[in-house]
Structure 1
Amino acid sequence: MKIGILMCGAFPEQLQELTGDYDAMFQALLSGQDFTFESYSVFENEFPNSVDDCDGWLISGSRFGVYEDHDWIGRLENFVREAVTVARPIVGICFGHQLIAQALGGTVEKYEGGWEVGRKMYEFGGVELPLNAWHQDQVVKAPEGALTIASNATCEHAAIIYGDRAFTVQAHPEFGAEMIEGLIMTRSDQVGDLAKIDAALEGLEHPVANEILGDQIADFFRSNRTRDGEA
């Protein structure tokens, strides 16, 4: 199964030296799942020719906001809507989570409580899973018909499922402790809250559930689905 990774940004070289860019981290997260991968720098207007070029799609995080006025964001929203229509499975992480929600009628805003950084606990159907986060924007209103499947006290729509068409997560299951530490070292000024940075540093010593989310993403991609209009 071929997965197309839609890159919505790129980390500076200093951070890429730690774990690679988004596509390398996603390939590591989904290693052993019998997938092949192809990357597209959509933030530089490098798009696939068709939603059928890959068997499934994964939209990365980004330094941009989904509500910003960039041509590639509108183009990516159109791509999402087409993929959903023709039942090409699509997964969104952080910015990708927000972009899919916005494309399908949801609302994304900056969280009034500021940045969420480091290891956070999320309730997935009664099971608490720790995942690394790094965001200020979040989905504040899910699209009609979407099902929120994970949340916590500061992020109501932490994971959303759209039937068999899309699966999205606000946190970063591809981020390990090295990437969070690197972000703390290079972007803590953006966060502007020493208590949150200290908590994120403390969280580096504790495990996260990346492997569990990686398996869930892989299972979603492999699920049987039928295009609209097909028997």
Structure 2
Amino acid sequence: MKIGILETGEVAEELRTRHGDYPAMFRELLAAADPAFEFGTVRVVAGEMPASPRQADAWLVTGSRHGVYDDLPWIEPLKAFLRDCVAAHVPVVGICFGHQILAEALGGRAVKSDRGWGLGVHDYQLVSRPGWLADAPETFSMRAVHQDQVVTQPPGTTVLAKSAFCDFAALAYGDPETPDAISLQPHPEFGAEYMAELLDLRAGTSFPLPDLDAARPGLARAVANTDWARWIAAYLRRAEAARDAA
């Protein structure tokens, strides 16, 4: 199964040498869950766009420092491409910015939230448990770095998880057992060292110091990154089996 990674943001140069870019983070995460996955990258942030949804067996939209409301030449084409993927039943996974732009593309709304920055390790509550999430616990923790969030649920979606900070933290599009797309606000691809270095790099500029002071004590907490890699892989394999059966 070939997963096309839609790269919509760039890791800061100061961190890229040690941690790689976003596609590298996702390759490492998902290959550990399913070594048979193959990967390709389309640098949407640099103006590239896939020729067709069928260019890959599935797509993953990365995080980004940009907002879905930014006036960038690739935002609207990306929304149109995601709608084409859903119409063609080519599965899509959206993470952080990818979560937000999927919602925007498919009838929801994402904004710069008046709740401010969500930084550090957050706790999430499972709301719905489709088969590919069968062994998910009632609560899980994940690393979060976002000020934007989905505020209007797209039609035809199921909320999979929520938190006190984020009402729509994970969504399934269509039948949650075999959804056309899934998306997640927090970052399963972020390791502990990358997260700590990112917060230090942006301290006092992007990230307010009081928010960082509140986030830092919890950075060492265990997170469900490998679990979410496994659940994403289970979703993709279930989508592949449904396609083959059809």
Shared fold per TM-score greater than 0.5: yes
* Superposed counterparts of 1:1-231, under 5 Å: 1-32=1-32, 33=34, 34-125=36-127, 127-163=138-174, 164-223=179-238, 224-226=241-243
SS for the counterpart of 1:43 is: helix
User: Alpha-carbon deviation of 1:196?
Assistant: 2.2
On the 8 A contact 2:199/2:207 being kept in 1, the answer is: no
CA–CA separation in structure 2 for the residues paired with 1:192 and 1:29 = 26
Listed one character per residue, the Cα deviations across residues 22-51 of structure 1 (whole Å, up to 9, x for unaligned) are 001101111230101001110111112111
TM-score, reference length from structure 2: 0.89
CA–CA separation in structure 2 for the residues paired with 1:189 and 1:77 = 32
**29-38 or 122-131, which deviates more:** 122-131
CA–CA separation in structure 1 for the residues paired with 2:43 and 2:120 = 26
Listed one character per residue, the Cα deviations across residues 110-146 of structure 1 (whole Å, up to 9, x for unaligned) are 1112100111001113711110000000000111111
User: Alpha-carbon deviation of 1:195?
Assistant: 3.3
> Structure 2: 5+ residue runs without aligned partners?
128-136
Which protein is richer in strand relative to its size? Answer: 1
TM-score, reference length from structure 1: 0.94
On the 8 A contact 2:10/2:21 being kept in 1, the answer is: yes
User: Alpha-carbon deviation of 1:226?
Assistant: 4.3
On the 8 A contact 2:45/2:74 being kept in 1, the answer is: yes
SS for the counterpart of 2:169 is: strand
Work out the number of aligned pairs and report it: 229
**Aligned equivalent of 2:134:** none
Q: Identity percentage over the alignment?
A: 43
> Structure 1: 5+ residue runs without aligned partners?
none
CA–CA separation in structure 2 for the residues paired with 1:75 and 1:189 = 34
CA–CA separation in structure 1 for the residues paired with 2:18 and 2:223 = 18
**94-103 or 11-20, which deviates more:** 11-20
Q: RMSD between aligned alpha carbons? A: 1.6
On the 8 A contact 1:5/1:57 being kept in 2, the answer is: yes
On the 8 A contact 1:30/1:218 being kept in 2, the answer is: yes
What amino acid does structure 2 have at the position aligned with 1:22?
A: Y
